[in-house]
Amino acid sequence: MDVDHVESDLVSVLFTEAQIQARLAELAREIEQDYEGKDLVIVGILRGAVMVMADLARALDRHVEMDWMAVSSYGSGTKSSGVVRILKDLDADISGRHVVIVDEIIDTGLTLSWLTSNLGSRNPASVEICTLLRKPEALTMPVEVKYVGWDIPNHFVVGYGLDFRERYRNLRDIATLAPHVYS
Residue of 9, 107, 151, 163 marked catalytic? 107
CA dihedral sign, ordered 171, 177, 181, 183:
positive
User: Residue ranges of the domains in the chain?
Assistant: 17-154
Q: What is the mean pLDDT of the chain?
A: 94
pLDDT digits (tens, 9 = 90+) for 30-40: 999 999 999 99
Which CATH number is correct for 17-154, 3.40.50.300, 2.40.50.140, 3.40.50.2020, 2.115.10.20? 3.40.50.2020
Report the pLDDT value the prediction gives residue 109, as an integer from 0 to 100.
92
Which phi and psi angles does 109 have, rounded to 5°?
90, -10
| 103 included as an active-site residue | no
Residue 29 is inside which H or E element, if any?
helix 17-34
133: β partners: 105, 150
Encode 98-121: b = buried (16+ Cβ within 10 Å), e = exposed.
bbbbbbbbbbbbbbbbbbbeebee
pLDDT digits (tens, 9 = 90+) for 85-116: 899 999 999 999 999 999 999 999 999 999 99
Report the pLDDT value the prediction gives residue 73, as an integer from 0 to 100.
74
Helix or strand or coil: residue 79?
coil
User: 162 to each of 5, 97, 105, 171, how far by Cα in Å?
Assistant: 16, 29, 8, 9
